[in-house]
Amino acid sequence: MALSRLSSRSTTLLQPLATTSLLRRRHISTDTTPITVETSLPFTSHLISPPSRAVETSSQELLSFFRDMALMRRMEIAADSLYKAKLIRGFCHLYDGQEAVAIGMEAAITKRDAIITSYRDHCTFLGRGGGLFEAFSELMGRTTGCSKGKGGSMHFYKKDASFYGGHGIVGAQAPLGCGLAFAQKYSKEEAVTFTLYGDGAANQGQLFEALNIAALWDLPAVLVCENNHYGMGTAEWRSAKSPAYFKRGDYVPGLKVDGMDALAVKQACKFAKEHALKNGPIGSNHHAFAFVFEQILEMDTYRYHGHSMSDPGSTYRTRDEISGVRQVRDPIDRVRKLIIAHDIATEKELKDMEKEVRKEVDAAVAQAKESPIPEPSELFSNIYVKGFGAESFGADRKELRATLP
């Protein structure tokens, strides 16, 4: 019985050993003995040898994957109903289907590594340690939101967890991400920046500018293309001459990852981080063309909802396609099967976990609904920063003169 947990096997071959279930101990949340799982698909690489398909994980990690992804899924579904109830207004871009990218990435990095992403940021915010209550409050425009209700769905940030948002303009976060990596190199932090963008943003000029800069100055940047195959309503084959986004870096190594497999994502991100932090194969003596710190990770993923809540998501793709992906590649189901196969928890326990998660989300929604809306004076706060390093009035001439220290 103990051997079945430790040996590495493909998940499709493993059968639950029902007869020994009564004798087996539960490993929920406490067991960190390593389990090795193979990713469902091999990595495709460009200019670099891909990492191994065998990923080391543990029951604790798998269970946390399941719980966190279930939480994210539930949050997005709740946001969907809130939007339809007109409590969330404007644009609301949902991440369900893509949870594995956020979760896998978090498992491979620390809070000192920076993440910057686009407007589809609710789950990334959660992954970085953001709270459900803050998220829902922000979506509903309340003061208790993570950006005090002034940012909205597209502007979630969490500075203490190095989560830099949250950006509405497609592709504009790529140069910002380079800036974060530049600052990490400048301050000599042993940290990496993950700059996420979509297949739509991959055609932006500023992305190639950012790529060039990051490769030129050896910035510890990892560019992650979350390829959900649709740039709003335009499929990737209709907008990109070369949809092999991981190869578009040309001189920058790339890796194509199954973005619906949280463990594959974890492996790829770990690999990319190590690669970005290395100082060169032999000391720091590396030739410009031989070694590039930067990497492009293309996450082959899928979103079940439309581009945003105003997009039904079915005019440019068939419902069969959506349900097909949901049946075969759903990230939560994949982890569920893994957990059951490795006898970490039973179906019922997982279902209970999902029920718990649902209750948590409902409670957060209820609490957020009760939160206050911002005061009128909040309209003018945080436009300028008060407190300067010089003798000056302040932008509205209301402050007393502050003197130089």
Binding site for other proteins (CB under 8 A): 114, 116, 145-152, 155, 157-159, 164-169, 172, 174-180, 182-187, 205-206, 209-210, 212-213, 216-217, 376-377, 379-398, 401, 404
CB of residue 30 to other proteins, shortest distance in Å? 35
Q: Smallest Cα–Cα separation from 339: which of 106, 57, 2?
A: 57
Are 24 and 340 spatial neighbours (Cβ–Cβ below 8 Å)? no
The reply to whether omega before 152 is within 30° of 0 (cis) is: no
Which one, 60 or 204, has the nearer CB to other proteins?
204
Provide the minimum distance between the beta carbon of 85 and other proteins in the complex, in angstroms, as a whole number.
Answer: 24
* Strand segments (E) across 248-370: 254-258, 295-300
User: For tokens 């425009």, what's the residue?
Assistant: 141
Q: Which is nearer to other proteins, 177 or 259 (CB)?
A: 177
Query: Of 177 and 313, which has the nearer Cβ to other proteins?
Result: 177
How far, rounded to the nearest angstrom, does the alpha carbon of residue 90 sit from its chain's CA centroid?
Answer: 22
Cα–Cα distance list, 293 to 13, 211, 348 (Å): 38, 11, 45
Residue number with CB closer to other proteins (180 or 299): 180
Helix (H) or strand (E) holding 120: none
Phi, psi torsion values for 117, nearest 5 degrees:
-140, -170
Nearer to other proteins, 65 or 119 (CB): 119
Nearest in space to 308 (alpha carbons), one of 153, 164, 157: 153
Q: Which of residues 132 and 219 has its CB atom nearest to other proteins in the complex?
A: 219
Q: By C-beta, is 98 or 184 nearer to other proteins?
A: 184
129 C-beta neighbours (distance < 10 Å), count: 13
Phi–psi pair at 76, nearest 5 degrees: -65, -40
Report the C-alpha gap between 321 and 328 in whole angstroms.
11
CA–CA dist 210, 337 (Å, integer) = 39
Least distance in angstroms from the C-beta of 170 to other proteins: 10
> Residue 207 CB, nearest distance to other proteins (Å)?
9
Contacts of 138 (CB under 8 A, 6+ apart): 145, 146, 147, 149, 151, 152, 153, 156
Report the relative pairing of strands 295-300 and 221-227 from DSSP bridges: parallel
Q: How far is the CB of 194 from other proteins (least distance, A)?
A: 13
**CA nearest to 173, candidates 186, 182, 164:** 164
Least separation in angstroms between residue 5's CB and other proteins is: 42
Provide the token pair at 120: 């589809």
Least gap, CB of 105 to other proteins (angstroms): 19
Q: Which is nearer to other proteins, 373 or 379 (CB)?
A: 379
Which sign, positive or negative, has the C-alpha torsion 274, 280, 284, 288?
negative
- Least distance from other proteins to the Cβ atom of residue 280, Å: 17
Instruction: Give whichever of 283 and 389 is closer to other proteins, judged by the CB atom.
Output: 389
